[in-house]
Each structure stands twice: as C-alpha cells, then as structure tokens.
Amino acid sequence: MPANGDGSVSPRNIVILKVRVANPTASTRELSRILADEYGIELSHNRISEILREMAEDGLYRETVIPDQSIFNHYLFRVAFHYPNFAEQWEDCYWALRDDPHVLMFFNADSEYHWQFITQFRDNDRMQRWIHEFFKEFGEFISGFHNTVLHQVHKFQTDAAVFDEMLRETEEGRQYLAESED
C-alpha cells in the first residue's frame, strides 16, 4: 500500500514519486535502475509500476498532459457568488466547471471562498463566447466575475526537488537523500 495507515506516504514511495516526476517519460525499467543507482532502492520494474498505480489510485498524484501556450491561450477566471441563490445553484455550477473541457484547474484561493479556475481556449473569441454561455446558464448565481489573460506562462510543472523537503522529515528519507548525494 503506498500510503501508511495514518495517511502519510512512506519515504521510499516519496523517492519513487520524485524519480517519476524527474523522469516523466522513463520506463519503469529505467526508474528501477535510477532508484537502485541513486537511492539504493532495489525494486523490480513490475513492483514500481504497481506502487505508482496504487499511489495514483489513492489520489497521491495525477498524470496530466498540459498543452503548451502555442496551442491554447490560458485565462484565470474568478467567480464571486450571489449568496441568496447559492444553496440551490452552487452544485450545478460546480459540476459544470469540473466537467468543462476548457477548465484546466479549479480551486478556492481566498478567504471569501470565491471559485477560481484556469481555462484554456484557442482564441479570445472562443473564450468570450464561453463566458457569454456561462452567464446565460449561471448568471443568477454570480455576483462578480473577473478574468485575466495569462499572456506568458513561464512555468507550470512540479519539480522533483520539492519532494526533498518531505524526505527530510524522516530518518529513512534523510538516508535516501544521503544515498543520492554519494
């Protein structure tokens, strides 16, 4: 099982995830070699595949393909609610956004619990039509809507080094880091 009984992830599995993030196109055979050479973790490629699958099923990571900005324009939308209509309309709007193919990321990011989402459209005209249709369907639910064009997305990825912080939290993780530095 990838997660420990308390919901935490073992240092070994953090290392496996770190190596996968650092080598997104590597085969599990290659990952097995990297884990053995750099961290002293000896696992078959089949076991690594099982662990990665289990971690994905447990929601510890997702494999996502994100097209470059040369294909799509990206936009940040922020929605404030008309609270008298919240109870009866939030769920339909929520699922419409979750299921919309233009929505790349959907989240809350402020203390007023406004919804924010990053979208992708081929051009501004298509984005404007989408907003028009969104307001036709959910306008009574919305008290404010702001959009920002993300002209240059300079970075949208997770670096494998972010997992080092998690590994430093345990003795086993520190041992794996020390092994990789040798």
Q: What are phi and psi of 161, to 5 degrees?
A: -65, -20
The answer to whether the pTM exceeds 0.75 is: no
Write down the pLDDT at residue 1: 44
The domain spans of the chain are 11-65+163-181, 73-150
- Written as six digits, the tokens of 174 are 């520190």
What are the Cα distances from residue 123, in Å, to 102, 105, 119, 127, 148?
12, 18, 11, 7, 14
* Residues 88/71, Cβ–Cβ less than 8 Å: no
How high is the mean pLDDT in each 10-residue block of the chain (182 residues)? 63 93 91 95 94 91 74 92 91 96 90 89 94 96 93 79 89 91 79
Q: 81: closest CA among 149, 137, 138, 148?
A: 138
CA distance 159 to 152: 19
* Structure confidence at residue 111 (pLDDT): 78
Structure token digits, residue 9: 């992830």
Pick the CATH number of 73-150 from 3.40.50.2300, 3.40.50.300, 3.90.1150.10, 3.30.70.920: 3.30.70.920
pLDDT (0 to 100) of residue 145? 94
Q: What is the pLDDT of residue 181?
A: 84
